[in-house]
Structure 1
Amino acid sequence: METRIAVIGAGIGGLASAALLAAQGHRVTVFEKSEHVGGKVRRIGVDGVQVDGGPTVFTLRDVFDELFHRCGSSLDDEVTVRPASILARHAWDRNGSLDLHADPRRSEEAIGDFAGAAAAAGYRSFRREAARIYRILDNSMLRGSKVSWPLPLMWRIGLWRVGDLIAIRPYESLWKVLGEHFADPRLRQLFARYSTYCGSSPFSTPATLMLVAHVEAQGVWLIDGGMSALAAALQRLGQRNGARFRFGQGVARIDIGRSRASGLTLDNGERFEADAIICNADPASLADGRFGEAARRACRAVPPKRRSLSALVWTAHADTAGFDMSRHNVFFSPDYAREFADIAGSHPPRDPSVYVCAQARDGSGRTAHGRERLQVIVNAPANGDTHDYSDEERARCTMAMRRSLSRCGLELEDPFPHSLTTPNEFNQLLPSTGGAIYGRASHGWAASFLRQGTRTRIPGLYCAGGSTHPGAGVPMAALSGRLAAHAVMRDLASMRRFHPVVTPGGMSTRSATTGATG
């Protein structure tokens, strides 16, 4: 019998699960409340051009190579992808900058030239430790289903590998451990920044997150058309295998029948029956009752103090001067601790670090000419549901951002043609989150094990997306979609294995195993 699978939301996780399930012959329908795919991957019109306003860094290409292969295509057949020779350019003031390169030997040389031989040696030791943590957790946790701490994770790693469990350093802060590798505070700050990739403070995250630096060191890739082109390719992949997409179709309620998810009721009142449902929305929206009272129990609520960072994001089309940018650029605050103290106090940072994606640059440092598409990001508290960012405050935040850039030598056109997205707008895009872009913050040793997993408390209802296991970021969202697709297929196969048996009295009796599964 053909199975019907509903996917709520066409973000990267939902697109990945829809493509994989459709390729296996399931009848998949994706319901997306907006008029385009991508979720956080989106474009914003500024000054007559479209500027990418979502994720910008594409890593772990092998995740997508495998996904496209499983669906009968290849990544290179669907989008144009090329490696960036410069991973990112970093600056603290006007006295030069530091590039990290795709070639680690060049990065080591650059660090040595920037901060001396001891710093280059520290980079080598840091790379070794980050690579080891990644190797330990790649298959056991990042690409596998959610696991608990410590015994289930130890079982996956290998009971005889006790040293590996200690080596991931879950009980020490990232900031502290970076001090073992780097005496220069600028380098400590540079590699601490990777905690913000999952929306967290380097002063509160475990040193385990050094693995993020290793992920980026394996390669950053540039996609012609940006992440929106990747989302469109995933949509085409699903459609070629029979997935249907219904845009402008919000879901009012997830229906529960016989103790399991049985279908959806749309905003227009239409009822859609389904054998399985994948929710590609932040789990907070389930727990908050946005998909109906019955679905509240699917997930635990995330307390506001456990939310990840939000952001202030300027999408712009403007001239720049002074600083020679690469594709990815970071301009650091002179007081990193105060920056995160401001955010913890529910205030935008007064003297922020600023990330700038110069979308016309080719990743090798080549200079662009004329106005260019820019995405400018400053970390902010996830208070979009409790605090109103007034016009005056938005102007203050813009001035603070421009001061940080100017301190490092980058001048922006004035007036500055832009659109500003604050935690208020992110809370509208991601309801019930306060604008937290990355789900639950990775603060404390247990945070990764408390993140919502693929399966929920309601049989037949699954989660996918950057706010679920294994974590934030485009490749992690795709992995979550793969995990959701596999869980759906396993569970449906398990249910089909047992059938009602006709008794002499004419009654049908459910298998005890089937009852337990449902």
Structure 2
Amino acid sequence: MIGAGMGAMAAAARLAVAGHRVTVYERTETYGGGVRRFERDGFRFDTGPGLLTLPAVYRDLFVKTGKEPLEDCVELVQVDPSARHVFADGTAVSLPNASRAGVVAALDEALGEGAGRRWGDFLVRAREAWDRTRRPLLEEPLWPDWQVLAGKEPYPAVPHKRLLRTRTARTVADIGRWELRDERLADLLDSQVLAYGLDPRSVPASAAVLPYMEHAFGTWYVRGGVRELARAVYERCVRRRVEFLFGAEVTRIVEKDGRAAGVELADGTVADADHVVADVDPARLRALTERPLDTGGDVGAEPLAAPFARFALLLALRGAPEPGIAHRTVVHPAAPESELDFLVSPGGDVPPPPTVTVLRPDDPALRPDDGHESVVLSAVVSPEALWEEEATVRRYTELLLDAAGRAVPGLRERLLWHEVRVPGHVEDETGARSGAVPAPALAAGEGRFLRPGNTTRLPGLYRVGGWSHPGGGLPHAGMSGALVAGLIVEGPGFRGSQ
């Protein structure tokens, strides 16, 4: 196993239970991939995902790999409200967790009568897209006939009585313009897709499954931070006698008789293996092999556009949080189109204000005492921006602090210190080029939003994790681990979970 990311560990635990001897080679000094933690002066911060969707993926992992269920190993808390949105015109709305009726009522009250109904109707159509794509996109390996996921848009067309015809949205932005018909609702939808590192103007309408997934299955927090989930998965692996070697960089995948037969480490050591599973980004995987892994027609060999990255600030605040705070607040900019333009072409211009996510977990484990608070601010950014320049970092720091001031009263007066997290930190931790973060795989879009399959042209070599099918995100990484384990244990005839 190359890499100790969440996908690799999910596969390792399952393979160990199936009787395989599993060794994980991780070039850094810890597990979890991008699911990390930063600690200073009694403050603790998640530096990767701060929330969890589809916890059933990890519940299944723990059921299949031992007697202790997930809830015996970590404490899961449903976040309510799921999010508070603060719009540029000053309007704010808190969306209840996993309650369609509650969301409809909240939107009607905050944005005006009819807004909730339009959003509720959108969720119904998003569910239809989810039902059409869930199994082939998430629960089955990506088969050679992957084109069935690339063609017809699964998000349904909407009939228009005045036009006496239906109108089919091609992109998420189309859904906002044609169906939601309110700039704030469109901004709400766009921000939910942008949070996954996807441009709503170019991503297919099938991306509606992402906000639907969060709405239908809820948003969850892991007490102590999401890093605790990585710890629990790592400890499950250790209990199943998976061996971890940290500080062990793989420099080559060894081939013998036309198949993967082991790995070579930086110190020249060669370890033989019947199967090699790689949880690394495509560029690094290509560098480790002696042959091309993809044919010209292989899905996902070259993505439509370079994945986005994230810029984050870790804030240590004096003073207790005010009662009833939202765990997550999304602050919307006045010019979202300018934000998206700059993401695609950062150039040398001054960046416009971005969409900023403010995470304020009310968790004693994350602060030195009840007189302080730890807060994480983040924004989706281009990995191509000039992050090595102090002026770029300073400009983004001010933009995030300005936006967060609309969500956290007296923010700057309460600020003790802050830590900056640029894309280079993610590159150091995960090896992903320029700190890019993979997005979940999506249907339609001519296959450009799918990820490479878990098998490769080199027999015995498998891909796992966010850079492979079914894409990025905590639940998707867990599902990729289940798929790879199934392919190894059951062979090419494995058809996915039943």
Partner Cα distance (1:416, 1:324) in 2? 23
Partner Cα distance (1:350, 1:154) in 2? 34
Q: How many residues align?
A: 472
- Matched with 2:45 is 51
1:54, distance to aligned residue in structure 2 (A): 0.4
Residue-by-residue CA offset, 1:76-121 (whole Å, 9 max, x unaligned): 1211112222111110248352111122211111101011221111
Report if aligned partners of 1:9, 1:281 keep a CA contact under 8 Å in 2.
yes
**2:293 counterpart SS class:** helix
Q: Of residues 64, 74, 85 in structure 2, which corresponds to 1:70? A: 64
Asked whether 1:249 is paired with 2:251, we answer no
Asked whether 1:198 is paired with 2:196, we answer yes
- Matched with 1:121 is 117
In the superposition, the TM-score normalised over structure 2's length comes to 0.86
Residue-by-residue CA offset, 1:372-424 (whole Å, 9 max, x unaligned): 1221111110227xx44312221111111122233566442355512212123
1:335, distance to aligned residue in structure 2 (A): 0.9
In the superposition, the TM-score normalised over structure 1's length comes to 0.83
Partner Cα distance (1:285, 1:253) in 2? 10
Asked whether 1:210 is paired with 2:205, we answer no
Higher mean C-alpha displacement, 146-155 vs 25-34: 146-155
Asked whether 1:406 is paired with 2:405, we answer yes
- Matched with 1:239 is 238
Partner Cα distance (2:182, 2:381) in 1? 26
1:450, distance to aligned residue in structure 2 (A): 4.2
1:303, distance to aligned residue in structure 2 (A): 5.8
Report if aligned partners of 1:280, 1:465 keep a CA contact under 8 Å in 2.
yes
Higher mean C-alpha displacement, 75-84 vs 315-324: 315-324
Higher mean C-alpha displacement, 470-479 vs 141-150: 141-150
**1:245 counterpart SS class:** strand
Report if aligned partners of 1:307, 1:441 keep a CA contact under 8 Å in 2.
no
Partner Cα distance (2:179, 2:194) in 1? 20
- Matched with 1:350 is 352
1:139, distance to aligned residue in structure 2 (A): 1.1
Partner Cα distance (2:15, 2:355) in 1? 41
Q: Kindly, what percent of the aligned residue pairs are identical?
A: 26
Do the aligned partners of residues 75 and 477 (structure 1) sit closer, same or farther apart at CA in structure 2, a change above 3 Å counting?
Answer: same
Report if aligned partners of 2:333, 2:354 keep a CA contact under 8 Å in 1.
yes
Higher mean C-alpha displacement, 93-102 vs 335-344: 93-102
- Matched with 1:142 is 138
Report if aligned partners of 1:317, 1:374 keep a CA contact under 8 Å in 2.
yes
- Matched with 2:459 is 459
Report if aligned partners of 2:28, 2:429 keep a CA contact under 8 Å in 1.
no
Report if aligned partners of 1:282, 1:439 keep a CA contact under 8 Å in 2.
no
**2:44 counterpart SS class:** strand
Higher relative contact order (CA 8 A, sep 6+): 2
Report if aligned partners of 1:196, 1:202 keep a CA contact under 8 Å in 2.
yes
Report if aligned partners of 1:319, 1:413 keep a CA contact under 8 Å in 2.
no
- Matched with 1:370 is 371
**1:313 counterpart SS class:** strand
Partner Cα distance (1:407, 1:272) in 2? 54
Residue-by-residue CA offset, 1:280-328 (whole Å, 9 max, x unaligned): 11122112x1x25x15536879669721111111122224789974111
- Matched with 2:381 is 380
Asked whether 1:318 is paired with 2:312, we answer no
Higher mean C-alpha displacement, 143-152 vs 41-50: 143-152
**1:82 counterpart SS class:** strand
The residue type paired with residue 337 of structure 2 is A
Asked whether 1:40 is paired with 2:34, we answer yes
Q: Of residues 101, 109, 131 in structure 2, which corresponds to 1:105? A: 101
1:129, distance to aligned residue in structure 2 (A): 0.6
The residue type paired with residue 404 of structure 1 is A
Report if aligned partners of 2:173, 2:190 keep a CA contact under 8 Å in 1.
yes
Do the aligned partners of residues 207 and 277 (structure 1) sit closer, same or farther apart at CA in structure 2, a change above 3 Å counting?
Answer: same
Q: Which sections of structure 1, spanning at least 5 residues, go unmatched?
A: 1-6, 156-161, 363-367, 495-518
CA radius of gyration, larger in = 1
Do the aligned partners of residues 397 and 437 (structure 1) sit closer, same or farther apart at CA in structure 2, a change above 3 Å counting?
Answer: same
Q: Which sections of structure 2, spanning at least 5 residues, go unmatched?
A: 159-166
Do the aligned partners of residues 59 and 426 (structure 1) sit closer, same or farther apart at CA in structure 2, a change above 3 Å counting?
Answer: same
Residue-by-residue CA offset, 1:469-496 (whole Å, 9 max, x unaligned): 11211000100111111111233999xx
Partner Cα distance (2:425, 2:274) in 1? 34
**2:53 counterpart SS class:** coil
Do the aligned partners of residues 441 and 308 (structure 1) sit closer, same or farther apart at CA in structure 2, a change above 3 Å counting?
Answer: farther
